[in-house]
């Protein structure tokens, strides 16, 4: 890349930011100058409109378009529920739904448990920040990068050659035969799930650790004076204190897991019975030229995420009432 | 019983006291194991990045001591090489910045404005609208890509051409 291009690009970004700042500044200035009577309404519109317009263009409109697509065939004629019938009758498609359900049970559960226990074990220990950084690091790696790292780890070489994948090498050290991990069903799905757990545990750990530190020391000490053991203190003091954080962590990870795409795409591309809904959606819409089926899968995903979001909203509401 | 002030010996500060009681040997071992498992994959990649290509393909990174080989060639190729076939990391890095900076600043400002409205301005349907926006996180991103591409090529591009900037 030439230096000129580089400078040009940087100038463009700077210019974009400057224009953005100017527009926002102008809008705020005008809102401030609005006549007194209409001030509240003007303020409301000015503050809410940008966010709502962008959401409408970027999310609501596409969502509606896709919903219509889900009930039509390749040519664009409405065909009713055929696409959904395909999802729930074809063995391959049913497998995709089941895989997604396995993912959404395993990943939030295990990452939260591991993250929580790690957060508690290292809480207030020496070198806490360093230990946190180690487990948080995968969060900073993109899903695609994580996929590449773990493919390296699961790599397979025939038994007579030297292994370059750590997992197969461990199997050999233990006296076993190397396995084609990513092609062996059903273990391959769980190996992909491990990658997602590896990434999400850091998130769970950081949020829960911050929440644990919010518990007043007095409560912990009082429990100690009452002669409780560590497990009782955890059950009766720590756990109630961080309940709302656990709900946030579990729901956030669940939603991220339901939408998981990159890991499956980069590691197996959904072959060998490892596909999940988001990946199959892509395969159907962009590879198999069946946008209707892709859209129908997207709607199924939507229906699966819906209860989690509703639960989240209810918890949010309850907290508002308490305050 | 009269309330005599308890003169408990306090050799250390409060946090330190709790610290000593909370950490046990078992917990330390478990957290060390977790830390190692979580670091190992990245560590392997890190070692591999300094090994010559044929070594990476021939044997595992944990044999680095029996198959010594250290090179900065991979980094040189990725960062500094000017041939067209090699990855132009400098360019990619600028592209990343060009996306990351506005993608952080814009939503932050717009969301802060919306948050201000929700927090301080009372209006009818405020709760419902808030829940609706919150619930929009259900829409998978992949689902928005096709319609967005159509908007870009159908609306923005003709506009760009009409103002003579193509």
Q: Can you give the pLDDT at residue B165?
A: 58
- With an 8 Å Cβ cutoff, is B165 touching chain A? no
Q: Is residue B135 part of a domain?
A: no
Question: Mean pLDDT, to the nearest integer, of A150-160?
Answer: 81
Cβ contacts of B102 on chain A, cutoff 8 Å: 13, 16-17, 20
B158 in a structural domain: no
Q: Do A50 and B110 touch (CB under 8 A)?
A: yes
Chain A: residue nearest B55 by CA? A164
* The pLDDT of residue B43 is above 50: yes
pLDDT at A132: 87
* Residue of higher predicted confidence among A268 and B24: A268
pLDDT at B48 over 90: no
Chain B CB contacts of A164 under 8 Å are 56-61
Please determine, for residue A319, whether its predicted confidence score (pLDDT) is greater than 80. no
Contact A138/B106, CB-based, under 8 Å? no
Residue B115 maps to a domain: no
- Residue B37 in any domain: the answer is yes
Please tell me the total count of domains within chain B: 1
Q: Which of B60, B121, B148 comes nearest A44 by C-beta?
A: B121
User: Containing domain of residue B25, as a range?
Assistant: 13-87
- Is residue B116 in a domain? no
- Lowest mean pLDDT of A4-13, A113-122, B57-66, name the range: B57-66
Q: Does B125 touch chain A (CB under 8 A)?
A: no
Q: Do B24 and A230 touch (CB under 8 A)?
A: yes
ipTM given for this complex = 0.71
Share of chain B above pLDDT 70, in %: 76
Is B29 within a domain? yes
User: Quick one: average pLDDT of B20-32?
Assistant: 71
Chain A CB within 8 Å of residue B90 CB: yes
Q: Is the peptide bond before B124 cis (omega within 30 degrees of 0)?
A: no
B60 lies in some domain: yes
Contact B102 A121 (CB under 8 A): no
Structure tokens at A3: 């230096």
Of all residues in chain B, the percent with pLDDT exceeding 90 is 2
pLDDT, mean over chain B: 74
Q: Please give the pLDDT value at position B85.
A: 61
Q: Which of A257-261, A276-280, B1-5, B116-120 has the lowest mean pLDDT?
A: B1-5
């Amino acid at each position: 890349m030439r230096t000129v291009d580089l400078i040009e690009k940087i100038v463009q970004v700077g210019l974009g930011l400057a224009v953005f700042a100017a527009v926002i500044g102008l809008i705020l200035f005008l809102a401030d100058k609005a006549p007194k009577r209409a001030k509240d309404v003007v303020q409301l519109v000015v503050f809410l409109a940008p966010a709502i317009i962008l959401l409408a263009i970027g999310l609501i409109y596409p969502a509606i378009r896709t919903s219509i697509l889900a009930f039509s065939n390749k040519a664009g004629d409405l065909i009713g529920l055929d696409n959904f019938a395909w999802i729930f009758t074809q063995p391959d498609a049913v497998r995709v739904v089941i895989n997604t359900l396995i993912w959404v049970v395993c990943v939030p559960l295990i990452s939260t448990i591991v993250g929580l226990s790690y957060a508690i074990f290292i809480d207030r220990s020496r070198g806490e920040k360093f230990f946190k950084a180690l487990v948080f690091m995968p969060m900073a790696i993109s899903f695609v990068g994580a996929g590449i790292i773990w493919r390296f780890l699961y790599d397979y070489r025939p038994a007579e050659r030297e292994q370059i994948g750590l997992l197969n090498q461990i199997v050999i050290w233990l006296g076993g035969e190397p396995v084609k991990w990513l092609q062996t069903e059903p273990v391959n799905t769980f190996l992909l799930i491990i990658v997602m757990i590896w990434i999400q545990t850091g998130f769970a750990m950081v949020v829960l650790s911050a929440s644990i530190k919010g518990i007043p020391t007095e409560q912990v000490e009082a429990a100690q004076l009452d002669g409780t053991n560590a497990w009782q203190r955890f059950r009766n003091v720590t756990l109630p204190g961080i309940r709302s954080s656990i709900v946030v962590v579990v729901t956030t990870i669940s939603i991220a897991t339901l939408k998981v795409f990159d890991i499956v795409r980069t590691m197996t591309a959904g072959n060998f019975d490892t596909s999940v809904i988001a990946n199959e959606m892509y395969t159907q819409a962009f590879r198999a030229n069946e946008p209707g089926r892709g859209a129908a899968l997207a709607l199924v995903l939507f229906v699966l995420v819906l209860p989690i979001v509703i639960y989240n909203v209810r918890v949010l509401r309850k907290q508002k009432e308490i305050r | 019983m009269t309330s005599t002030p308890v003169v408990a010996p306090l050799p250390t500060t409060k946090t330190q006291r709790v610290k000593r009681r909370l950490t046990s040997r078992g917990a330390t071992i478990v957290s060390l194991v977790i830390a190692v498992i979580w670091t190992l994959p990245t560590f392997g990649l890190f070692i591999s990045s300094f090994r010559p290509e044929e070594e990476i393909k021939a044997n595992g990174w944990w044999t680095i001591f029996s198959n010594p080989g250290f090179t900065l060639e991979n980094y040189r190729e990725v960062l500094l090489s000017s041939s067209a076939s090699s990855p132009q990391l400098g360019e990619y890095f600028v592209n990343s910045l060009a996306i990351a900076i506005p993608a952080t600043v814009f939503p932050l400002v717009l969301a802060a404005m919306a948050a201000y409205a929700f927090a301080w301005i009372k209006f009818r349907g405020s709760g419902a609208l808030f829940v609706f926006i919150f619930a929009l996180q259900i829409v998978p991103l992949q689902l928005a890509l096709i319609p967005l591409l159509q908007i870009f090529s159908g609306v923005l591009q003709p506009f760009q051409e009409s103002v003579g900037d193509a």
